[in-house]
Amino acid sequence: MSFTRRDFVRGGVAAFSVGFAAPKFLCDLALAQGAASRSLVVLYLSGGNDSLSMVVPYTDPFYMTRRPTIGLTAGQVLPIGKDSAGNSIGLHPRLTGLKGIFDQGRLALIQRTGYENSSRSHFQGTDIWSTANPVNSQGPGWLGRYLDTLPAPVDPLAAWNTTGQTPHTLLANTVGVPAIPSPAQYSFSSPNAGTPEALNERTYAAKISSHVPVNRPHLAFVNSTAQAAFNTLDSVASVASYVPSTGVTYANNGFALALKAVAGALVRGTGTKVFWVQTGGFDTHAGQGTQNGGYAGLMSTLNDGLTAFYTDLNNHGLLSQTLILQFSEFGRRISENGSAGTDHGAASVMMALGGPVRGGLYGTAPNLNPNGNNPTLENGNNDVRYETDFRAVYATVIDNWLGGDSTKILAGNFKNGPNII
Amino acid sequence: MAFRDPLIEHLLRRAGFGATAAELERYQGLGFSGTIDELINFTGVADDVDSKIGTPGYVATTSTGPFSPSTVINDARQRWLFRMTHSRRPLQEKMALFWHNHFATAYSKVSGNTTAIDGVRMMAAKPSEHPGGIAGQLETFRELALGNFRDLLVAVAKDPAMVVWLDGNTNVKQKPQENFAREIMELFTMGVGFYTEPDVYAGARVFTGWNLERVGRTDDPNGYFRFNYVANNHETTAKEFSFPIYPDGSKTIPARAASAGMQDGLDLIDALVRHPETGKRIVRKLYAFFVSEIAVPNEQIVAWLSQIFQQSNYNIGAVVRALLFTREFSEPSNRFSRYSWPAEFVVRAMKEVGFAGFSVNNAISPLVNMGQQLFEPPDVSGWDLGKSWFSTGATLARMNFSAVLTQNQKFNISSSAKGKGPTPEALLSFYLDQLTPADFSRAAYDDLLAYLTAGVTWNGSDAQLATKAPGLVHVIVGSSEYQLV
C-alpha cells in the first residue's frame, strides 16, 4: 500500500481513513483462510481463583463448617449435577450464563487441576503455569513455544494480547506478540495530524526502526516491537470499528471490552491463532461474601463477559472455531481466614468453553474432611491436592486443537489428559 | 550551551529524570563528583518544589476543582509528575519511584477497602495536609529515600496503605493472615528460595495485631486511619523459623506477653534486614536501576556493595553513592543500557522538548497506555521492567505521547528552530544535542535526514520549520533510541 502525495491531497481526509483501514478484499481473504483456522482464547484469572466458591461441592459436610461465613448454601448455588465420584456440584449463583452454556454441553469444568508441590507465590505460580515447567519456570511460555513452531514468516497478528504487557505465557523466542489493550487507541498520531506530513512521519518512523543495530540487542528489541506495531496498525484499525451482533452488549469493563476486541478480530478475520485475555482481583484475602460481596462481583464480571462473547460468536457462526481455556495461578485455602477471605492454596479448577468442547464435569471434587489421611488434600489437609496435571490439559489443547506437538512443546508426554475437545 | 558533558547527561538520566538545558549547565558547573554529592546529600537543597505548582515557568496542572493532591488521586499523580519534572532533589524523587515499585501498593485496593479520600491520604498526603499529621506512603518513601533500610522496612510494615493493601488490618490471632508475611520475605527482602512455607505461617503469627484504627467516625471528613498494635489480637506463643532470627543464630522468636508482642515483628524485620540474601537482592535491583539491566553485575561487585550495605548499617545512600562512583557506572558501554520506565520517559521528554503551556494532566492517560499508572502498580511485585515495558501497544503509546507533546509544543519548537536549519544536517544536529537520544546508526541517521527533505525541497524557511521541526522532534522522541536511558 503506498500513496503519492498527489493522491493523498486529492483524496483528502477520506483517503487517509480508507488507506489506513484494511481493504475489504484483504479482510475477505483472511476470513476465507480463517474459516479453516482455529483460535484459542486463553483466559487468566489473576490473583489465585477460589475455585471452591466457583465450582462448589455444596453437599460436602465439611464445606460449611470450614467456610461458615463465605460458604454458599444448596439453595444459593446453581446445581449442575454430580461428578464421577458422586459429589454434587453447583456453580456460583452469579454464573447464570455459564450454567446455560454448561447445559448446552459447551462448557467443561476440570476439577482439581494443578501440580506437585504447588507454589503459593503469585509470581512463581504464574511463571509455572506460564512455562508449564514446575522445576524451571524461566524462559519462553508454553504458547510462546507453540508460536515458535509456526512456519516462518509468522503473521504479525498470529497472536494478540489484549493487555498492556506481554504475559509470560506468550513470550516466544522468535515471535513478538502485539499488545493491543484498545484497538481504537492502537494508531499512530502526529503533531501534524490531518496533513500529508503525518504520513511522512509514519513512513520514516517505520524506516528508522527497520534497521537491526549491530551489537545493541536492547535497541534491536525495541525496534522489533516498533516494527510489529507498524505492521499491525492497519488490521487492528479494522477491528476498532467492530460493532457486536444484534442483541449483544459488552459491559464497560476491561475484561468485557477485551472480549469484544477478540470477537472483532475473529469476525474481521485477522487470522489470529492465540488470544490472551485476563481479569484480576482474585486475590481474595478478605471480604469474599456469598451471593453478594467481593467474589460475587468477580463472578458477575466473568459471567457477563463470557456470555456476551459466546452469544456474539454464536450469532456470527464462529463458535465452532473458537476455544476458550481458563486458568489461575493457584486455588485458595479451604478454610476461610479471619477476614472472611481465603489465603493462598494449591489446586484449582480449569474451564474450557466453546464450540469444540465436550462439556461436562471432569475430575472429582476434593473431600474437605480436615481429619486423618485424606488423599484429596495436602499441606495438613489445609489445601486441595491436584488430581489432573495442568500440563495434561495443555497437551489436549495443543494436540487436538492447535495441531501442535505437545510432547515437543511441553518437553514430555502429558497425553493422558481429560478428553475435553 | 557550548559544551554538553555526556557523562553528566548520563548521570542525570539515571539519578534523575534528565535535564533541561539550564539544569544541565548548572550541574556541569558542579562537576561529576560535585553533582553526585548534591544529589545524594539532598537535604542540603531546599525542598520548595511544591510551592512552584501553578506558577509561571513550570509545567501546568489541570483539575476540575481546587488542586488537592492529598485527597484527589489524579491530583496526587500530577503533583508527583510535577516534582519529577522540577524538583531540585531529583534523586530523591527517583528513589521514591524505586521504592514505589519495590513496595508496590495500589491505590485502587487501598481506596476500595476504605474511601477515595482515605486512599489518597494514605498513598500521598504530606503530614501537613493530613488531619492526623501522618505521612502518606509516598512521603515515607521520599523521607527515607536514601535512608536506613531497616527504618524503611519498619515504616512500611506500619504504613496504613500497606496494612490495607496486604490485609494486615485483619491479621488476628484467631486467624493469622499470611499476605504481608509472605511478601515481606518474597518481595521486600530475601526473595524466593530462602524461606519455607512454615516460615510464612510463622511470619503471619508474628504480625498478628499489626492492625489499623479509625480516628473519628467513618462519615467525618477529618477522620482517618492510623497504625495500631492491638495486643488482644496478637498471638503470643513462640514462633520458629528456618533461618536465624537473632545474631546468636537462634531461630525462634520467644513467647511473649501480648503487651510486648509487637517486638516479634521488629525482631523478624531485623532478621530479614540482616539476612545476607536481602542485601544482595537490594544491591542487584539498585545495580539494574542505576548501572545497567543489560550487563549482569559480577559477583565481586555484588559482594562489595552488599558489604557496604551491611557495614553502613543498611544505609541506602551509602550503597547508591558507591554505585554512582563505580567504574561500571561511567563505562560508556553502560550508557543507554536500561529500558526507561514510562514515568522516566514522559518526564525526560517534557524536560528536553519543553513544557511551557503543557499540563502534566495530559500525561496521565498516556502513562496508562504505556503500562505505568502511578499509584497503581499491577500487583505487589511491582511493574514488569525491562523488555516488558515494550509491548507493541505500549511502544505505540510512547510514540503517541511524543505526538501529544510535540503538537502542544509546536509553536515553541518552530520558534526555537529558527536559524537552526540552514541545512537539514544542521537542524538534525541541533535536535540530537537537545534531545540526547542514544546514538542512531548511520542508516537510521540517514532516514532522519531523508524525513526532513521528504516532500519538500529544503530551504530552511520558517514555514518549513513550522512543520518539519515538530515532526522531527516527534520522530526522535518516539524512536527506539530515545526509549533507552
CATH number at residue A375: 3.40.720
Which residues 129-188 of chain B have a CB within 8 Å of chain A?
Answer: 167, 169-172, 174-179, 182, 186
**B339–A201: do the CB atoms touch at under 8 Å?**
no
If you average pLDDT over residues B115-123, what whole number do you get?
A: 95
In this complex, is the C-beta atom of A212 within 8 Å of any C-beta atom belonging to chain B? no
Cβ atoms of B140 and B155 within 8 Å: the answer is: yes
Q: What residues contact residue B305 under an 8 Å CB cut-off, 6+ apart?
A: B279, B283, B286, B287, B319, B322, B323
Which residue in A has a C-alpha nearest to residue B472's C-alpha? A201
**A192–B404: do the CB atoms touch at under 8 Å?**
no
Which of B294, B369, B389 comes nearest A185 by C-beta? B369
What is the distance between the alpha carbons of residues B47 and B87, in angstroms, rounded to a whole number?
8
Which of B172, B441, B471 comes nearest A213 by C-beta? B441
Tell me, yes or no, whether B109 and B240 share the same domain. yes
**B177–A285: do the CB atoms touch at under 8 Å?**
yes
Going residue by residue through chain A, which has 421 residues, state the pLDDT in tens, using 9 for 90 and above: 232 222 222 222 222 222 233 333 443 444 434 334 899 999 999 999 999 999 999 999 999 999 999 999 999 999 999 999 999 999 999 999 999 999 999 999 999 999 999 998 888 899 999 999 998 888 899 999 999 999 878 888 999 999 977 899 998 887 878 888 889 888 899 999 999 999 999 999 999 999 988 889 889 989 988 998 999 998 999 999 999 999 999 999 999 999 999 999 999 999 999 999 999 999 999 999 999 999 999 999 999 999 999 999 999 999 999 999 999 999 999 999 888 999 999 999 999 999 999 999 999 999 999 999 999 999 999 999 999 999 999 999 999 999 999 999 999 999 989 999 9
> What is the grid cell recorded at A262?
477478540
Which residues 282-321 of chain B have a CB within 8 Å of chain A?
Answer: 294
3-state secondary structure B117-179: HHHHHHHHCCHHHCCCCCCCHHHHHHHCCCCEHHHHHHHHHCCHHHHHHCCHHHCECCECCCH
| Domain membership flag for residue B313 | no
What is the distance between the alpha carbons of residues B28 and B345, in angstroms, rounded to a whole number?
22
Instruction: Select from B277, B295, B325 the last residue of a domain.
Output: B277
If you average pLDDT over residues B88-94, what whole number do you get?
A: 98
**B391–A225: do the CB atoms touch at under 8 Å?**
yes
- Label the pairing between strands A159-161 and A107-114: unpaired
Q: Chain B: nearest CA to A327, how far in angstroms?
A: 18
| Domain membership flag for residue A159 | yes
Q: Chain A: nearest CA to B454, how far in angstroms?
A: 7
B475 or B393, greater pLDDT: B475
**A192–B167: do the CB atoms touch at under 8 Å?**
no
Instruction: Select from B277, B307, B327 the last residue of a domain.
Output: B277
In this complex, is the C-beta atom of A21 within 8 Å of any C-beta atom belonging to chain B? no
Which residue in B has a C-alpha nearest to residue A225's C-alpha? B392
Q: Which of A20, A210, A332, A343 to mutate to test the interface with B (most CBs of B within 10 A)?
A: A343
Q: What residues contact residue B417 under an 8 Å CB cut-off, 6+ apart?
A: B427, B430, B465, B469
Which residue in B has a C-alpha nearest to residue A229's C-alpha? B392
**Inter-CA distances, A270 with A244, A353, B22, Å:** 16, 21, 50
Q: How far apart are the first and last CA of chain A?
A: 41
| Domain membership flag for residue B282 | no
| Domain membership flag for residue A292 | yes
pLDDT score at A154: 83
**B479–A208: do the CB atoms touch at under 8 Å?**
yes
In this complex, is the C-beta atom of B62 within 8 Å of any C-beta atom belonging to chain A? no
**Cis amide prior to A93 (ω within 30 degrees):** no
Which of B390, B441, B474 comes nearest A222 by C-beta? B390
Q: Is residue B387 pLDDT above 90, yes or no?
A: no
In this complex, is the C-beta atom of B192 within 8 Å of any C-beta atom belonging to chain A? yes
Instruction: Select from B244, B261, B277 the last residue of a domain.
Output: B277
Tell me, yes or no, whether B272 and B368 share the same domain. no
Tell me, yes or no, whether B36 and B173 share the same domain. yes
In this complex, is the C-beta atom of B483 within 8 Å of any C-beta atom belonging to chain A? yes
User: Across all residues in chain B, what is the average pLDDT?
Assistant: 96
| Domain membership flag for residue A107 | yes
Which residue in A has a C-alpha nearest to residue B483's C-alpha? A222
Q: How many domains does chain A have?
A: 1
| Domain membership flag for residue B409 | yes
In this complex, is the C-beta atom of A285 within 8 Å of any C-beta atom belonging to chain B? yes
| Domain membership flag for residue B330 | no
Q: Which domain holds residue B377?
A: 342-483
Residues of A in contact with B172 (CB under 8 A): 338
Q: What residues contact residue A219 under an 8 Å CB cut-off, 6+ apart?
A: A213, B336, B438, B480, B481, B484
| Domain membership flag for residue A183 | yes
The C-alpha angle with vertex A361 and arms to A358 and A362, in degrees rounded to 5, equals: 85
Q: Which domain holds residue A314?
A: 11-188+235-409
> If you compute the radius of gyration of chain A from its CA atoms, what whole number of angstroms results?
23
Tell me, yes or no, whether B113 and B260 share the same domain. yes
Residues of B in contact with A157 (CB under 8 A): none
pLDDT score at B50: 97
Tell me, yes or no, whether B354 and B240 share the same domain. no
| Domain membership flag for residue A248 | yes
Residues of A in contact with B450 (CB under 8 A): 204, 207
Q: Is residue B460 pLDDT above 90, yes or no?
A: yes
Q: Chain A: nearest CA to B175, how far in angstroms?
A: 5
In this complex, is the C-beta atom of A37 within 8 Å of any C-beta atom belonging to chain B? no
What is the distance between the alpha carbons of residues A45 and A27, in angstroms, rounded to a whole number?
32
Which residues 198-217 of chain B have a CB within 8 Å of chain A?
Answer: 200
pLDDT score at B142: 98
**A211–B179: do the CB atoms touch at under 8 Å?**
no
Which residues 237-276 of chain A have a CB within 8 Å of chain B?
Answer: none
pLDDT score at A71: 98
Q: Is residue B401 pLDDT above 90, yes or no?
A: yes
| This model's pTM is above 0.95 | no
Which of B384, B438, B475 comes nearest A208 by C-beta? B475
Which residues 41-100 of chain A have a CB within 8 Å of chain B?
Answer: 46-47
**A229–B384: do the CB atoms touch at under 8 Å?**
no
Which of B167, B399, B440 comes nearest A286 by C-beta? B167
Tell me, yes or no, whether B258 and B383 share the same domain. no
In this complex, is the C-beta atom of A189 within 8 Å of any C-beta atom belonging to chain B? yes
Long-range CB contacts for residues B245-250, cutoff 8 Å, separation at least 24: B245/B270, B245/B271, B246/B271, B247/B274
If you average pLDDT over residues B386-403, what whole number do you get?
A: 92
Tell me, yes or no, whether B64 and B148 share the same domain. yes
Q: How far apart are the first and last CA of chain B?
A: 22
If you average pLDDT over residues B82-100, what whole number do you get?
A: 98
In this complex, is the C-beta atom of B470 within 8 Å of any C-beta atom belonging to chain A? yes
What is the distance between the alpha carbons of residues A303 and A92, in angstroms, rounded to a whole number?
10
Residues of A in contact with B294 (CB under 8 A): 217-218
In this complex, is the C-beta atom of B468 within 8 Å of any C-beta atom belonging to chain A? yes
User: Lowest-pLDDT range, A349-363, B217-231, B296-310, B469-483?
Assistant: B217-231
DSSP A378-392: ETTTTEEPPSEEHHH
| Domain membership flag for residue A17 | yes
What is the distance between the alpha carbons of residues A261 and A249, in angstroms, rounded to a whole number?
13
Q: For chain A, give the number of residues.
A: 421
**B480–A193: do the CB atoms touch at under 8 Å?**
no
> What is the grid cell recorded at A377?
488434600
Q: How many domains does chain B have?
A: 2
Residues of A in contact with B193 (CB under 8 A): none
The ipTM value here is 0.93
Cβ atoms of B323 and B305 within 8 Å: the answer is: yes
